[in-house]
Amino acid sequence: MTKNMDYPSNDITGQKPLNNSLLNNKIMVQGLNLYYGDNQALKTIDIDVYENKITALIGPSGCGKSTFLRCLNRMNDLISSVRVEGTVIIDGKNIYDKDVDEVSVRKRVGMVFQQPNPFPKSIYDNVSYAPLKHGMVKKGHKCDDLVEKSLLQAGLWNEVKDKLAQPGTSLSGGQQQRLCIARTIAVQPDVILMDEPTSALDPISTEKIETLMLELKEKYTIVIVTHNMQQAGRVADHTAFFHMGELIEYADTETIFINPGRKKTEDYITGRYG
């Protein structure tokens, strides 16, 4: 279990600590600090993310949850003022080791953003672009199969199979987001990071993405940042609450939403603070 959190004992509060005996660690974050220049945005984060589970990161704006998410695939490396300390071990290897290529990290740890951001290319090209670039497939039947498989997994194939040559931007917002998920899946990652993936979508499209997430967790480990408490409650197996750069509480989602162990968590999720 993570180090910087305390769980009241079962007997006193009914709090149910994360039972991790049957879970496989996919990502182990240890002593993670992140600085934007002199400003420390993440403070000694210790957390284990489990394989084939959905982990939700919640917390008020500016609490560090998106910054933390971007640490998991070294997206913060793109910001010049950022300095990262600590380790993020994925499948036994620290992705911040000097011998690790950040592009290969991002191939294994894909990302879906708040705003759907399809390339200004056809639906087909959106999905095939990265696999072709990485040399995973060559143009032809195998590439076609990969595009079809990815769009099927993203629950979009039936809606777009007859218009693959049309621009990705011609799709609706919800379809564009699923196209972005298909694009992420196409490079066969192990982990999918989602940064508020439905905040720009209507309830119907949101429901489709959430259903998709529940299907995808069979094959992938998913970490999602969300401001939507109900969404975390609906889809996440585990939930982590961040506040002012600190990980305040991490537990089964059920525990967080029925009987959180920390007052700060309770105040935040009940709308009394944050």
DSSP 10: H
Neighbours of 249 (CB within 10 A): 26
Q: Which is nearer to another protein, 144 or 266 (CB)?
A: 266
272 part of the interface to another protein, by CB under 8 A: yes
DSSP 208: H
Give the C-alpha separation, 129 to 64, whole Å. Answer: 31
- What is the DSSP code string of 27-83? EEEEEEEEEETTEEEEEEEEEEEETT-EEEEE-STTSSHHHHHHHTTTGGGGSTTEE
Among 20, 24, 115, 230, which residue sits at the site for another protein (rule: CB under 8 A)? 230
92 part of the interface to another protein, by CB under 8 A: no
At position 19, the amino acid (one-letter code) is N
How many amino acids of this chain bind another protein (CB under 8 A)? Answer: 17
3-state secondary structure at position 243: strand
Q: Which is nearer to another protein, 27 or 57 (CB)?
A: 57
258 part of the interface to another protein, by CB under 8 A: yes
233 part of the interface to another protein, by CB under 8 A: yes
* Minimum gap (Å) between residue 173 Cβ and another protein: 24
Give the C-alpha separation, 138 to 108, whole Å. Answer: 20
241 part of the interface to another protein, by CB under 8 A: no
Instruction: Please provide the size of the chain in residues.
Output: 274
Q: Which is nearer to another protein, 190 or 266 (CB)?
A: 266
Give the C-alpha separation, 70 to 193, whole Å. Answer: 8
84 part of the interface to another protein, by CB under 8 A: no
250 part of the interface to another protein, by CB under 8 A: no
Site stretch for another protein (CB under 8 A), options 39-47, 89-97, 116-124, 263-271: 263-271
Q: Which is nearer to another protein, 177 or 265 (CB)?
A: 265
Q: Which residues contact another protein by CB under 8 A?
A: 12-15, 229-230, 233, 257-260, 265-266, 269-272
